[in-house]
A = this chain, B = another copy of it.
């Protein structure tokens, strides 16, 4: 059995780790951190935690003092994560960091988008936790930077295209839509039921912090610089993320052949599914599961190729991916605890 700590257990990604690990056959939570609930049991803070899987809640500082565990999940805000990683690694724990703190390879780029980095020497030690790209590196890592939700939905959709000569992948046009849990668990007027519930709107149209992460990874795959024209939107659902991506065709390409390419590319991936022609990704069909659904169409009339992806932003876009990484890092079966079907309806 693998003993896990969850830092920041009462946020949405923390709660989702609790949910996923409650049925994990090998990894169980021994303690969690919570500023508000320190000193209580998880079942007191979260009415749905059942007694058999209960665990104590402590302050972050308490938890760091003597971290008796094998792995730590950091579901902390950007900027806070980097401060706790070093003591955990030194105590011999493996670490999955769900924040953005170690996703960007370049501390200056980090500074441009997030502010000054407190521990830039950690950066080269972290592996970018997208198993579909870095599975072997993750297996050997003791520190993994779990990807952002938008980057996951965009990178998985684009990877098979990036080396094709028939398409211009230098600047995909990406129109993404996220469920409201992506904004975190704070109380804000713009994510209140009355203001977000019968609403759909773009936000962060020119500048969103997930852009450098997408560009970094897509550039690596392409072997040349890639920019992303990215527009995020807010959907009135709790969970779910769809990215609709447009890439210009340089030469004619049939939908059948490109779909075949995707199927081949993802044939052995446990969590990526390429939909048959005429089916499109729907957040309802991945909700609560670690799946990523992809669809590809070619618009011959206008000369564009369209790739669409759907994930649950809290699962494959955050906590599910973190468990997938933890499975790899600890030598477990990659899909252990992650085979649940979506909650539909």
Could you tell me which A residues sit within 8 Å of B by CB distance? 12, 15, 18-19, 22-23, 47-50, 52-53, 171, 173, 175, 177, 179-181, 185-189, 191-203, 205-206, 227-229, 231, 233, 235-240, 242, 244, 246, 273, 275, 279-289, 291, 293, 295, 297-299, 301-304, 306, 308, 310, 339-345
Across the interface, A193 reaches (CB within 8 A) one of B22, B52, B196, B285, namely B196
Tell me which residues across on chain B come within 8 A of A344, comparing CB atoms: 15, 19, 48
B339 touches A52 (CB 8 A): yes
| A341-B43 Cα distance, complex, nearest whole Å | 12
Asked whether B280 lies within 8 Å of A197 as measured between CB atoms, the reply is no
How many monomers of this chain does the complex have? 4
With A193-B191, A344-B19 given, is the CB distance from A206 to B284 under 8 Å? Answer: no
Cα A195 to Cα B238 in complex, Å, equals 9
Residues of B near A284 (CB, < 8 A) are 195, 198-199, 201
Q: How far is the CA of A340 from the CA of B24 in the complex (A)?
A: 10
| Cα(A99)–Cα(B244), bound, Å | 29
Contact B201 A242 (CB under 8 A): yes
Please determine whether B310 and A244 come into contact, CB atoms closer than 8 angstroms: no
Tell me the nearest residue of chain B to A18, going by C-beta. B341
**Is A235 a contact of B193 with CB atoms below 8 Å?**
no
**Cross-interface CB contact of A173 among B48, B238, B304, cutoff 8 Å:** B304
Q: Tell me which residues across on chain B come within 8 A of A201, comparing CB atoms.
A: 242, 280-284, 310
Q: Is the CB of B246 within 8 A of A229?
A: yes
Q: A341 CA to B202 CA in the complex, in Å?
A: 22
Contact of A297 among B49, B205, B244 (CB under 8 A): B205
A291 to B239, CA, bound (A): 22
Q: Is the CB–CB distance between B341 and A49 below 8 Å?
A: yes
* Nearest B-chain residue to A47, judged by Cβ: B285
Q: A244-B202, A293-B47, A343-B19 are in contact. Are A12 and B237 (CB under 8 A)?
A: no
Cross-chain pairs A/B with CB under 8 angstroms, 12 sampled: A19-B340, A23-B23, A47-B285, A173-B304, A194-B238, A195-B284, A197-B238, A200-B235, A205-B308, A236-B237, A239-B345, A343-B343
Given contacts A19-B341, A189-B187, A193-B191, contact A242 B233 (CB under 8 A): yes
Q: Which residues of B contact A179 (CB under 8 A)?
A: 200
**Complexed CA–CA distance, A244 and B176 (Å):** 11
Does the CB pair A286–B48 fall under 8 Å?
Answer: yes
Q: Which of B48, B196, B240, B295 contacts A198 (CB 8 A)?
A: B240
A282: B residues at CB distance < 8 A: 47, 199-201
